[in-house]
Amino acid sequence: MFWNENETKSRKELEEIQLSRLKWQVAYAYEHVPFYTRQLDSVGVKPSDIRTLKDLSKIPFTMKTDLRDHYPTGLFAVPNNKIVRYHGSSGTTGKPIMVGYTRGDMENWTEMCARMATAAGVTAEDTAQIAFGYGLFTGGFGLHYGLERVGASVIPVSSGNSERQLMLMRDLHTTVLIATPSYVLHLTEVMQDLGIRKEDLDLRVGMFGGEGHTPEMREQIEQRLGIIDTQNYGLTELCGPGVSFECLEHSGMHINEDMFIAEIIDPVTGEVLPEGSEGEIVFTTLTKEGIPMLRYRTKDITRLTYEPCACGRTLARMDLVKGRSDDMMVIRGVNVFPSQVEAVLMGVDGIGQQYQLIVTTEKFMDKMEVQVELMDGSMLESYSNLERLSGEIRHKIKTVLQIDVKVTLLNPKTIERTAGKSHRVIDKRSKAF
Ligand code: ZN
């Protein structure tokens, strides 16, 4: 089942759409956003120099700092009377970044989220509960409009209040759950406490995003809830959810290529890498009126494939995000992503989903401690069990990462839960080199 004919076009047809839209988008950005006029002028490129898709690489990158530096609306291409919606993302420090949507942008965003819902198998027969936060965060509203577009009955419950979430799920026979994966795992813990079994619910599909999740985490979610777990990807800077989405083949996330061009670059040199390489994914918007993005650096590490998918879609697919180039820690010279540690932890019996990585320096040596919760606190009473379990985790991490870590096992529910993105890494190393 497809939502839009552009999802199954031939590569040649898709590239024709991309090229004509790219020419328009670059000229539009150059004319309406002084920042882009300066960016293109600085490398001596005029919009008329964009004749093929390859010419995109002549344009300088746009960074998150550019959005911050032009806070709140300095990168907007239209006056306020053309903006119908603001969204923003809260940075961990300082001012958020703000984006604005015209009526046309809202229509395209809704369209992309409708494609995503259809790819997850959601139809007008479904009841969809949105446990994403509504507000400046794009997650809640993006899914809301897309799911309404396909005709699903939407319950805009927003995030938090797990007991009420579960009550509504039972009473309204919710079939589709929209949430961050870490919140879903938290919900399953609440279910256990309340004695609610997966059979007591009608859930059949999850549409999860807002943060990455590993295949091991997916397996846990699918088992605990008895659902199909689908993932999707988006960034506030590009529109929010809907940039790419999984189909039921679970073989990567289809990028809405009639709305975005994706490139993979070397995060250090900025060089465009050949197909199949792992690197940082960079997006250029093709239809944006409110706030165009030319070659936006996401910092997300992934890989692209252009092979048509078994589902019938020809849209390129990106792998589930392996990590952020920002999150990548260098520990004793080894590149470490939190997702790699997570994958190991998910594969060990007896431990829960919540963990934290604490990185310190001792005598000029990097040390990493993995704190992870046990499923059953009574295990803490048996020293030999603890030794066996922490030894197993240490060994598995060493096999994957080639580094020795300290493993600390904690009582269940010791680590703070967050409804949104969870903070897994505490890096206490001095940054002064
Ligand atoms: Zn597919």
Query: Could you report the per-residue pLDDT of 252-286, keeping only the tens digit for each?
Result: 999 999 999 999 999 888 999 999 999 999 999 99
Mean pLDDT of 358-373: 87
What residue segments make up the domains of the chain, in order of their start? 5-326, 334-427
What protein residues have CB closer than 5 angstroms to ion ligand 1? 247, 249, 309, 311, 313
Q: 83 CA distance to ligand 1 centroid (A)?
A: 34
The pLDDT assigned to 252 comes to 96
Q: 55 CA distance to ligand 1 centroid (A)?
A: 29
Q: Which residue has the higher pLDDT, 430 or 333?
A: 333
Q: Where are the alpha helices (DSSP H) in 226-358?
A: 338-346
Mean pLDDT of 237-266: 97
The pLDDT assigned to 421 comes to 53
The pLDDT assigned to 325 comes to 72
Mean pLDDT of 83-100: 83
Mean pLDDT of 396-411: 90
Name the phi and psi angles at 145, rounded to 5: -70, -40
Q: Which residue has the higher pLDDT, 345 or 13?
A: 13
Query: For the CA atoms of 206, 207, 211, 212, what is the dihedral angle to 10 degrees?
Result: 70
* CATH homologous superfamily of 334-427: ANL, C-terminal domain (3.30.300.30)
Q: 300 CA distance to ligand 1 centroid (A)?
A: 21
Q: 274 CA distance to ligand 1 centroid (A)?
A: 22
What number of CA atoms fall less than 13 Å from residue 320's CA on the CB side?
A: 20
pLDDT at 191 > cutoff 90: yes
Dihedral sign (CA 299, 294, 38, 40): positive
Q: 53 CA distance to ligand 1 centroid (A)?
A: 24
Quote the tokens at residue 151: 């005709």
Q: CATH for 5-326? A: 3.40.50.12780
Q: 314 CA distance to ligand 1 centroid (A)?
A: 8
pTM: 0.81
Using DSSP bridges, classify how beta strands 205-208 and 228-235 pair: parallel, antiparallel or unpaired.
Answer: parallel
Q: 306 CA distance to ligand 1 centroid (A)?
A: 11
Query: Could you report the per-residue pLDDT of 103-154, keeping only the tens digit for each?
Result: 999 999 999 999 999 999 999 999 999 999 899 989 999 999 999 999 999 9
pLDDT at 431 > cutoff 60: no
- d(CA 61, CA 38) in angstroms, rounded, equals 12
Q: 254 CA distance to ligand 1 centroid (A)?
A: 7
